[in-house]
Structure 1
């Protein structure tokens, strides 16, 4: 066996080990009994017009509001989330470009009251002038993690 063949075998074995470790970590280190649920996207809701909400299992709801409106670029945005029907330990909003990678933007919101969370972020400018965004509200509870996606469009002159 040549040196390059040995190196290839070692590299493949290391990759297989890394994949096995990642799978084991996902299943063995996850909190016992945690359930992950992704709510369906409501394409009729427009965050530019006002708050949007999404149904979650057990009759609950997650509502997202972004201010000011219209939603500006390169200016502070206020994110407000209301959670009903589940006890939320943490809330984050993952903001991503639908058709273009705009970098990592996932602010952690602070608890304002029973089921209410808020925080701030800023959206970068897209060079195309019009940008479709997805805001996924991620709510972590004691035994469940729920993701509720919302979409909106920004424009830049």
Structure 2
């Protein structure tokens, strides 16, 4: 076997090894992140009219807001009820659906003497376009799992 053929075979094996390392190694080095589950929100529900729920198997996240007449810069009290979820922490994020409106994240606190209930106060930002769609994204942290539910509503 010629010296040139051995060099060619070595370069091919080296390229193959590098290719495998580029594809396989990043996946192996990726930090372990909590499993994220999205609960399905009941259709047609609006937090401006009633309590809304999202479910997955025997787990549910319900959200109520007070006042239900949601307007920008007015303090809003969000009450979250968890069923079948033993959460370590619950966070609420208010996001513009069609427009980035900045970060609006609130860590909710457990309600005394009401297991499974969490509460927090926040407000939505002013939008110069008038009425727009918002999303209340609720994330319940349970051990190494995140359970998430989305609740859309319109507000001025």
Aligned-partner SS, 1:151: strand
Partners in 2 of 1:87 and 1:41 — Cα distance?
19
Alignment match, 2:124:
123
Structure 2 unaligned regions, length at least 5: 1-21
Aligned-partner SS, 1:28: coil
- State the TM-score, normalized to the length of structure 1: 0.76
- State the TM-score, normalized to the length of structure 2: 0.76
Is 1:28 the counterpart of 2:31? The answer is: yes
Structure 1 unaligned regions, length at least 5: 1-16
Alignment of 1:81-120 (within 5 A): 81-112=80-111, 113-120=114-121
Q: 1:42, 1:150 within 8 Å by CA — same for their partners in 2?
A: no
Alignment match, 2:48:
48
Partners in 2 of 1:108 and 1:43 — Cα distance?
26
Partners in 2 of 1:85 and 1:142 — Cα distance?
13
Deviation at 1:86, TM superposition (A): 1.5
Partners in 2 of 1:29 and 1:146 — Cα distance?
16
Aligned-partner SS, 2:143: coil
How many equivalent pairs are there? 131
Residues 119 and 24 (structure 1 numbering): CA distance in 2 closer, same or farther, change over 3 Å?
A: farther
Partners in 2 of 1:24 and 1:136 — Cα distance?
30
Deviation at 1:40, TM superposition (A): 2.8
Alignment match, 2:138:
137
Partners in 1 of 2:41 and 2:52 — Cα distance?
11
Deviation at 1:28, TM superposition (A): 3.0
Is 1:75 the counterpart of 2:74? The answer is: yes
- Pick the structure with greater CA Rg: 2
Deviation at 1:69, TM superposition (A): 1.7
Partners in 2 of 1:134 and 1:24 — Cα distance?
34
Partners in 1 of 2:36 and 2:101 — Cα distance?
26
Partners in 1 of 2:84 and 2:95 — Cα distance?
26
Is 1:66 the counterpart of 2:65? The answer is: yes
